[in-house]
Amino acid sequence: MPSITSEATFELTGLDDPLRFCGFRDQNLNALEALVPVVLRLEGDRVYLSGDRDAVRRAEDVLGHMLAAACGGTQVTPDDVALAVRSTVRGEGRQGIPPTLAVTARGREIRPKTAGQRALAAAIGANTLTFAIGPGGTGKTFLAIVMAVRALKERDVARIVLTRPAVEAGEKLGFLPGDLREKVDPYLRPLYDALSELLEDGTTQKYLERGTIEVAPLAYMRGRTLSDAFVILDEAQNVTHEQLKMFLTRLGSGSKMVVNGDETQIDLPRGHRSGLLDVERLFAGIDDIGIVRLDETDVVRHPLVGRIVGAYDRLSRERD
């Protein structure tokens, strides 16, 4: 631990609910101490800081963002604290803790947890077409569905269309038993899971029955024009150049599209090139198209997942 060279007092001015700021059992303050080499002591409406001068200054900046969010009604979490700390390291502290994008059926506030997720949410909001490229666990699919449900609730769109390629079935689903839903459910289950977390019990099924939410394999998009819809293509690394072109040209008026994929998880048969590999060459610099790359620092599953992804990335680079 560095020698103590500076002390400061942070006033919790305007805070009506300390739990929003401190977290359960002061978990937010504990998270800050774990990330920045300072000692914090909460007494009444003051936080006393001690530590290295630069560390104290950084901690004060983070506490300021935490206080602003808490006073605005946000329940600050350790993930918010971690994001604020990383932002101060990168000189992005002015961005503060991102606003709540949605609230789950259980009351949990959904906000970007990493800088990459923050950039993705901003890109989706600003562009008609957004590509999110990165490894598993970075929240690409979930964040896209959060933005879609939010747009639906705010009546920016009339429906949500979710699709992904059924590569294991070769997009030829006719030989499988059951109706369309039973045929494709195994491939679309992650999309249903995300919807169920965001919507109240029964709401997802009601929307599916009405057509307000449509979940279908990519093969069923051919020949359609998708207007006034929020359209998400998941697992886009498993679509060919021709399939991706077919999907993108389904875009209709009043619609927004998000394409998610992981270039390290291509399952296409040998001899078939992923259309996702050409995205930056084709679309970089075109207005109203956003391309966001996420990496292992954006993995928000178990912390070990980020290290696993990093290990595989290193192996891939060594082989190249």
Q: For residue 162, give the H/E element and its range.
A: strand 159-164
State how far the Cα of 84 lies from the Cα of 78, in Å rounded to an integer: 10
Inter-residue contact 120 to 189 (CB < 8 Å): no
What's phi and psi for 36, nearest 5 deg? -125, 130
Q: How far apart are CA 92 and CA 88, in angstroms?
A: 5
Q: Tell me which CATH homologous superfamily contains domain 6-97.
A: K Homology domain, type 1 (3.30.1370.10)
Rounded CA-CA distance 189/208 in Å is 14
- The better pLDDT of the pair 205, 256 is held by 256
Q: What is the pLDDT of residues 111-156, one digit of tens each?
A: 888 889 999 999 999 999 999 999 988 999 999 999 999 999 999 9
Quote the tokens at residue 94.
Answer: 């002015």
CATH number of 109-319: 3.40.50.300
pTM recorded for the entire structure: 0.78
Asked whether this chain's domains 6-97 and 109-319 adopt the same fold, the reply is no
pLDDT band of residue 306 (cuts 50, 70, 90) is low
Domain boundaries, the chain: 6-97, 109-319
Range with lowest mean pLDDT among 1-5, 61-65, 234-238: 1-5
For residue 172, how far is the Cα from the chain centroid? 31
Over residues 253-264, mean pLDDT: 95
Cα separations (Å) of 223 from 129, 190, 210, 246? 19, 25, 22, 8
DSSP, collapsed to helix, strand or coil, labels residue 320 as coil
b/e per residue 129-163 (b: at least 16 CB within 10 A) = bbbbbbbebbbbbbbbbbbbbbbbeeeebebbbbb
